[in-house]
């Protein structure tokens, strides 16, 4: 049985990886062998350290949660020096995640990450606020998406995966802008802009007022976007949104995603990605599927 997939020249052992920001290399090593994953995606990094948003930073809602971590991180230099080397001992594709508040910052972060020895590809997180354009996320517009992707593309030969924001009018238009900017693959999608309020206190629950919504509740919407994007572009698509079991992962593969990312559900079940891989195998056995690539995109309409 073959579970391996290829994305922009990267060979993944299987189509399952974590979503950025929802996983830690050392923290999760107690629960799963990173060698068994298709890839590992690091937390997004910016040029300088960022302290993140005021707490509370997470609130559970029915079948999901809204978070507002605010890309707390130690900066790109620290990542190259102190975080990335931890992945050296694993034989798993390692993807770094690039964030920034200006186009120039994305470029500078890329330059720094290029010095790491063991990063195989970049995921560009375009859901950050563009401070030169009133704080709206780069990924909300075709033009700023294009500019960010171009900036990263011009600085690396490694595969560039662009993680789209779902907070858009037309996901296909933004996907095409990313392709034009030089993307080798797309991740669809990041979290949905959302909020939660407390009727007892009369206040918002998150310190940042607004946050990003993810978890099982969002799956049908992200599934729709993956479907639309897969049918509109020629580059591989990685799905991210609400995956909680093998069946969810298989739904995304069916509509044409080449791989899937698991986010929020890593919290309650740190070994969930291994369960998902097993469930995919069981499904393939039951259906007599020899190669997962034969299943990917086999949706009949």
Partner 1 sequence: MKISESKVIYNKKIGPGYHVLGFEAGWLEETEPGQFVMISTNRLEMPLRRPFTVYRLNEKKAEILYRVVGKGTMLFSQLEEGDMINVMGPLGKGFPVFEDKTVVLLSRGVGIASLGLLGERLKKTGCRVFTVASFSDRTRSLVDDYIKSFSDELITTFDEDGSSDVENIRFILDKIKPDVVYTCGSRRLIRLLQKLPYEAYVSLEERMGCGLGACLTCAVRTINGYKRACKDGPCFNVKEVIV
Ligand X SMILES: Cc1cc2nc3c(=O)[nH]c(=O)nc-3n(C[C@H](O)[C@H](O)[C@H](O)COP(=O)(O)O)c2cc1C
Catalytic residues: 128
Options 264, 280, 292, 296; binder of partner 1; rule CB under 8 A: 264
Sketch the per residue contact string, 47 through 76, with partner 1: x for CB under 8 A, - otherwise. ----xxxxxxxxxx-xxxx-x-x--x----
Q: By CB under 8 A, what part of segment 202-261 binds partner 1? A: 215-216, 244
> Which structure tokens are listed for 249?
């992962």
CA 161 – CA 221 distance, rounded (Å)? 21
Token pair of 29 as six digits: 């090593």
Figure out which of the listed residues 7, 40, 69, 280 binds ligand X, where binding follows CB under 6 A: 69
Residue 269 and residue 238 in contact, taking contact as beta carbons nearer than 8 Å: no
Q: How many CA atoms lie within 13 A of 83 on its CB side?
A: 24
Q: CB of residue 118 vs partner 1: minimum separation in angstroms?
A: 20
Size of the site for partner 1 (CB under 8 A): 36
Instruction: Confirm if 158 and 119 have CB atoms less than 8 A apart.
Output: yes
Spatial distance between the Cα atoms of 179 and 148, rounded to a whole number of angstroms = 12
DSSP conformation letters of 124-172: EETTSB-GGGTT-BGGGSHHHHHHHHHHHHTT-SS-EEEEE-S-SS-HH
Among 7, 15, 22, 100, which residue interacts with partner 1 (rule: CB under 8 A)?
A: 22
Which of the stretches 15-23, 79-87, 280-288, 293-301 binds ligand X when contact is defined by CB under 6 A?
A: 15-23
Out of 46, 53, 92, 97, name the contact with ligand X by CB under 6 A: 97
Q: Contacts with ligand X in 231-270 (CB under 6 A)? A: 240-243, 262-264
Residues belonging to the chain: 301
Interface contacts to partner 1, rule CB under 8 A: 21-24, 27-28, 30-31, 51-60, 62-65, 67, 69, 72, 215-216, 244, 264-271
């Amino acid at each position: 049985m073959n579970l391996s997939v290829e994305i922009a020249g990267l060979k993944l052992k299987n189509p399952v990886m974590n979503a950025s920001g929802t996983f830690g290399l050392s923290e999760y090593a107690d629960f799963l062998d990173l060698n068994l994953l298709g890839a590992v995606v690091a937390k997004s990094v910016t040029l300088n350290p960022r302290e993140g948003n005021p707490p509370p930073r997470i609130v559970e809602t029915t079948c999901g949660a809204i978070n507002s971590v605010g890309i707390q991180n130690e900066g790109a230099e620290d990542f190259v020096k102190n975080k990335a080397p931890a992945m050296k001992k694993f034989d798993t594709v390692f993807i770094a995640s690039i964030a920034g508040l200006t186009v120039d910052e994305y470029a500078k972060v890329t330059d720094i990450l290029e010095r790491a020895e063991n990063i195989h590809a970049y995921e560009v997180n375009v859901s950050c606020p563009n401070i030169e354009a009133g704080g709206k996320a780069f990924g909300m517009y075709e033009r700023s998406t294009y500019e960010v992707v171009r900036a990263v593309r011009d600085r690396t030969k490694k595969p560039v995966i662009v993680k789209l924001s779902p907070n858009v009018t037309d996901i296909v238009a933004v996907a095409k802008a990313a392709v034009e900017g030089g993307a080798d693959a797309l991740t669809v999608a990041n979290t949905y802009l959302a909020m939660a309020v407390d009727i007892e206190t009369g206040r918002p629950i998150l310190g940042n007022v607004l946050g990003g919504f993810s978890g099982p509740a969002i799956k049908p919407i992200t599934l729709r976007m993956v479907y639309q994007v897969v049918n509109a572009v020629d580059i591989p698509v990685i799905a991210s949104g609400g995956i909680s079991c093998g069946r969810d992962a298989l739904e995304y593969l069916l509509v044409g995603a080449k791989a899937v990312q698991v986010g929020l559900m890593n919290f309650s079940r740190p070994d969930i990605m291994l369960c998902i891989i097993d469930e995919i195998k069981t499904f393939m056995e039951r259906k007599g599927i020899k190669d997962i690539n034969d299943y990917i995109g086999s949706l009949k309409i």
